[in-house]
Amino acid sequence: MAASSHFEHKEMDHLSYSADEQLLFDLVLNEDVEGVRSFFDLRPDFLFRTRDFVTRALLSDTIDLNRGDILKIFLDEQARIGGALFNAVRKGSKDCVQTMLPYISSKRGDIGPEDVKPGAFVSPLMLAVHLEKFDIIELFLSKGYRVLEPHDDDDEDDDDEQLNRTNVGLELSSELSFNLRVNAYRALASPLYISYFFIMNPDALHPIFHVLELNKKLKNQMYRDFEFNNDYKQISKDCQRFAVDLLEQCRTTDETNVLLDVYPEIQRVYEKDKKHIEGSHTAFKELSMLNLAIRNDMNELVAHPQSQLRLDKILYHGLYMFKREPRVWRYRSWYTGKLFWLRHTLLLPFLALFYIIAPDCRISNVLKTPMVKFYSHTGAFVLFAIALAVSSFEDHFTDYTLIPVLIDWGTLLFVLGLFLQEVKDLYFQGAFRYIRQWWNIISLLMVVLFLISYSLRLTAYLSPQTSPPHLKNLAVRSSQLSLLANSFFAFAMVFSFIHLTNFLQVSDVFGPLQLSLYMLFADLIKFFVFFFVLFLAFGLSLRKLYSHYKTSQQHFVNITRPVDTNHPYSA
């Protein structure tokens, strides 16, 4: 009850009030505005003489009663606000909050909407966002206040802006910093805050882009503040859910285009980072939101029907058909698509040559479309796998080494092309995103193993031809290099056929199975760590157990025949 709220303070040894104090409490609890005004007219210096906890109790009772007019009288009499704004936000009293804002003074130690009092984990604005007090959030943002975004711990040039407002010399690694940071991100990810901030701030970022960038920071913060890992995961899910909900509210094409068009924000934020601005053509602009969503692991947003429709629009654009009548590619039969792929694969060498000669003709423009590029990559790698299979049966030996044949030089050229492609992907995607995709790891291992194999093979082939005939040791060494080259080639061939299954990801049948197999393999690797430790411990223990076997036979066993010590533990 409001009548007893002023007794709920920690200064329990000051419960005896003076007559004037008790009179003022009664006037406030009776909501007597004129009586309170008359009280201060007769006692203008009352608040300067009274105790601090009494002032706090009076302000608390006034806020509980949601009487902004009485609160204004106290503030006109120079009452210190302190942390009363927290109480007003908690009670949801917009009138009291609006009354206090002009009177807040940091010189007197008052806590403003963006400030955090010493030892606290939230600011009044954060508290309003957490409690979903939308009218107070609207009021704060209309006055220009905002939730201050925490800086990274490894940023040596900038201190945490929120911590600076506490006026306490705490380090960024302190308990306060961790709690304050997670509460700040929880407020920044609130749909209410994002929506109001975008409406009231003309310079605000696009809501979808804001969510994408915030989710990226949340992913990084999970590993920095691992104590709050579950909190950051939940905040990240809320961000993704908000973006999906926005798309589900679209009722027209214009609304969808507005939500999915984040390319201006990309140019604005990443104008100096060319790795994020990968191109200025129409396809990149259309898919800029999806590209960022993939970078930040926002799978629900990528899988949303509106996002997939936008992707299909780019994938099938400009694709020519077998028949003259217009027909959407996705609605063609199964065998039609497979015949198109087979024809395209068989004609790929001629199409590539035609593209080099006339890059701007109609056929070359079709070759630039994403769907045909996928067919080209798939067909080219199938031909490469066939060439590898053929080369495994083509062995032409000299006395000590293999002789490279035409098909070997062809596969070498293809491997060099794959190497340049991997370097390009690494540059545009960045090392972090490149390594996170396990298919890139397989491709990189495959290319590196092939390059090592061909390097050893060429070295083994050229060395005997440039050395004197009497140097047989060098020829033997060439034979050993050939064997080593074949070993690397065998491993690379295994990775090549594993890489070939990468194209099955687009299948609605094999794609989920492949993903399940990958997750199973990842778990098996984790279990293999335990198996390796146990296997190592057993092997070392067994070696120690049989270490004196030979000595015991020689000194303690009375035998007439020679001792057979040819066993694994005799040495």
**Residue that has been written with the tokens 């505005």 in this structure:** 33
CA distance 378 to 557: 69
Whole-angstrom CA distances from 337 to 20, 371, 374, 500 are 91, 11, 13, 19
The string of pLDDT tens digits covering residues 207-231 is 888 888 888 888 888 888 888 889 9
pLDDT at position 206 is: 84
Helical spans, DSSP H, in 1-83: 19-29, 33-42, 46-49, 52-64, 68-76
pLDDT at position 449 is: 92
Average pLDDT of the chain, as a whole number: 78
pLDDT at position 173 is: 44
Is the pLDDT score of 269 beyond 70? yes
* Cβ-based neighbours of 539, under 8 Å, separated by 6 or more: none
pLDDT at position 170 is: 35
The string of pLDDT tens digits covering residues 64-98 is 888 888 888 888 888 888 888 999 999 988 899 99
CA 548 to chain centroid, in Å, comes to: 56
* Cβ-based neighbours of 189, under 8 Å, separated by 6 or more: 211, 214, 218, 235, 236, 238, 239, 242
pLDDT at position 167 is: 39
CA distance 374 to 240: 29
Strand partners of residue 399: none
Nearest to 502 by CA among 388, 402, 385: 385
pLDDT at position 4 is: 45
Judged by DSSP in three states, 405 sits in: coil
Is the pLDDT score of 232 beyond 80? yes
Kindly state the tokens that stand for 330. 């996705």
Give the residue with greater pLDDT, 397 vs 421. 421
pLDDT at position 469 is: 53
pLDDT at position 161 is: 47
CA distance 490 to 453: 9
Nearest to 401 by CA among 461, 458, 488: 461
The string of pLDDT tens digits covering residues 285-306 is 777 888 888 888 888 888 888 8
Angle at 276 between CA 272 and CA 278, to 5 degrees: 105
Is the pLDDT score of 8 beyond 50? no
Q: In degrees rounded to 5, what are phi and psi of residue 45?
A: -105, 25
pLDDT range class, residue 23, cuts 50, 70, 90? confident
Is the pLDDT score of 397 beyond 70? no
pLDDT at position 6 is: 43
Q: Residue 555 burial (CB < 10 Å; 0-12/13-18/19+)?
A: exposed
pLDDT at position 279 is: 47
Kindly state the tokens that stand for 568. 């694994």
CA distance 388 to 491: 12
CB-based burial, 317-347: b 16+ in 10 Å, e otherwise: eebeeeeeeeeebeeeeeeeeeebbeebbee
CA 199 to chain centroid, in Å, comes to: 27
| This model's pTM is above 0.75 | no
Helix, strand, coil tally for the chain in percent (to 5) = 70, 0, 30
Q: In degrees rounded to 5, what are phi and psi of residue 361?
A: -80, 180
pLDDT range class, residue 273, cuts 50, 70, 90? low
Give the residue with greater pLDDT, 330 vs 489. 489
pLDDT at position 484 is: 86
Which of these ranges, 103-117, 261-275, 282-296, has the smallest mean pLDDT? Answer: 261-275
Which of these ranges, 15-24, 35-44, 187-196, 448-457, has the smallest mean pLDDT? Answer: 15-24
Once rounded to an integer, what is the mean pLDDT over residues 492-506?
A: 84
CA distance 67 to 28: 9
Strand partners of residue 163: none
* Cβ-based neighbours of 17, under 8 Å, separated by 6 or more: 25, 54
CA distance 399 to 330: 57
pLDDT at position 227 is: 85
Give the residue with greater pLDDT, 537 vs 431. 537
Angle at 539 between CA 533 and CA 545, to 5 degrees: 135
Q: Residue 129 burial (CB < 10 Å; 0-12/13-18/19+)?
A: buried
- Percent of the chain topping pLDDT 70: 79
pLDDT at position 567 is: 55
Which residue type occupies 332?
R
Nearest to 80 by CA among 100, 99, 61, 62: 100
pLDDT at position 256 is: 85
Nearest to 563 by CA among 553, 571, 549: 553
The string of pLDDT tens digits covering residues 24-58 is 888 888 888 888 888 888 887 777 777 888 888 88
pLDDT at position 9 is: 42
* Cβ-based neighbours of 84, under 8 Å, separated by 6 or more: 56, 59, 60, 63, 100
Nearest to 103 by CA among 135, 61, 131, 74: 74
Q: In degrees rounded to 5, what are phi and psi of residue 397?
A: -100, 145
Give the residue with greater pLDDT, 276 vs 37. 37
Q: Residue 541 burial (CB < 10 Å; 0-12/13-18/19+)?
A: exposed
pLDDT at position 271 is: 63
Is the pLDDT score of 2 beyond 70? no
The string of pLDDT tens digits covering residues 136-175 is 999 999 888 988 887 655 444 444 444 444 433 334 446 7
Judged by DSSP in three states, 182 sits in: helix
Determine the longest span between alpha carbons in the chain, in angstroms: 124
